[in-house]
Copies of this chain bind each other. A is one copy, B any other.
Amino acid sequence: MHAIGIDIGGTKIAGGLVDELGGISRFERVPTDASDSDAIERAIVAMIEDLAGGERLPVGVAAPGFIDASQSTVYYTPNIPWRNHPLRERLEERLHLPVVVDNDANAAGWAEFRFGAGRLVSDMVMLTSGTGVGGAVIAGDRLLRGGFGAAGELGHLRIVPDGIPCGCGARGCIEQYGSGRALQRMAGAIADAGGIGTALAAERERAGGVLEGAAIGRLVQEGDPGALAALSELGSWLGQACASLGVVLDPQLFVIGGGVADAGDRLLDPVRQAFVDHLPARGFHPEPVFAVAELGNEAGVVGAADLARLHEDPDFLAFAPRG
């Protein structure tokens, strides 16, 4: 059975018709005005109707922010002015299709678990390093949602007491040390310092004073020591976060996603090193594997669709193929 996945971003909505192996047979994308809640809902409805083509297919909608544990209500989402918004009910009324709502990072992590790097394990933790740090936890073959639906907000794990202030109101969140934005800050500091930062400084001057993530990534690929030092610092923080998360969740696999994951082992090596350096009781229990994400930007769409299929038929997973 096909299912429909919708991924609501800050500036666009993506949607797809997804098969049981996680393949996307149709894909659509429209720009949106995040400030206009009604227009966003109309765009979602139109996209779903178009993808469904009159068939009764389960629909999964992924959105950033906090979604309640029953996959119905958006407590809060950044950008769009939804507060305690009954999105599932509103969409079901208009569509007459079964709808569930999930957090976007959870949907992407679920896709990675079902069809990507996590397809051979039962317990997986995903950290996605982009503008912020997103998180998802799979525990015992299930998406960990928590009692109120807000589990897996791993970007806000505190890694440094009284550390860098975070947009969430707390301080020292891993988001401030492990995100693409943090990498830019670290690379900028190395550029300022001269020495191994010379190439970073030159790149920054060429780009008019801004050190873009893509430029840092290019220097990493070229083996530039300054860019590698920044990446290593980032990886070390992520590895420390994984050590803390391992104590709580004990996954067989950590998956690192987002733009920085393009660096592959150049990122994973410092992550692994920091993990073992900070792992309690090392040698007394098995240790997890580290991998980069295998799915791309469509992971949210794929995961949202698969979660909708699973909600429609909870026994589906026992017999489901995995990609």
Binding site for B on A (CB under 8 A): 65-66, 75-76, 121-124, 137, 139-140, 142, 144-154, 156-161, 166, 168-170, 173, 240, 243-245, 247-253, 278-282, 284-286, 288
Contacts and interface: CB of A to CB of B under 8 A. Distances in A.
27 contacts: A65-B284, A66-B284, A76-B281, A76-B284, A76-B285, A121-B147, A123-B146, A123-B147, A123-B151, A124-B147, A139-B139, A144-B249, A147-B288, A148-B252, A150-B286, A153-B250, A153-B281, A154-B248, A156-B281, A157-B248, A159-B161, A161-B240, A170-B243, A170-B280, A173-B280, A244-B244, A248-B248
A240 B163 CA distance: 14
A90 to B, nearest CB: 20
A171 to B, nearest CB: 8
Contact of A153 (B140, B157, B247): B247
Copy number in the complex reads: 2
Nearest to A138: B147
Contacts of A248: 137, 151-154, 157, 245, 248-249
Nearest to A279: B170
Given A146-B249, A169-B281, A170-B243, 4 more contacts: A66-B281, A123-B146, A148-B285, A158-B247
A90 B126 CA distance: 37
Contacts of A121: 147
A244 B145 contact: no
A146 B138 CA distance: 9
Nearest to A121: B147
A68 to B, nearest CB: 8
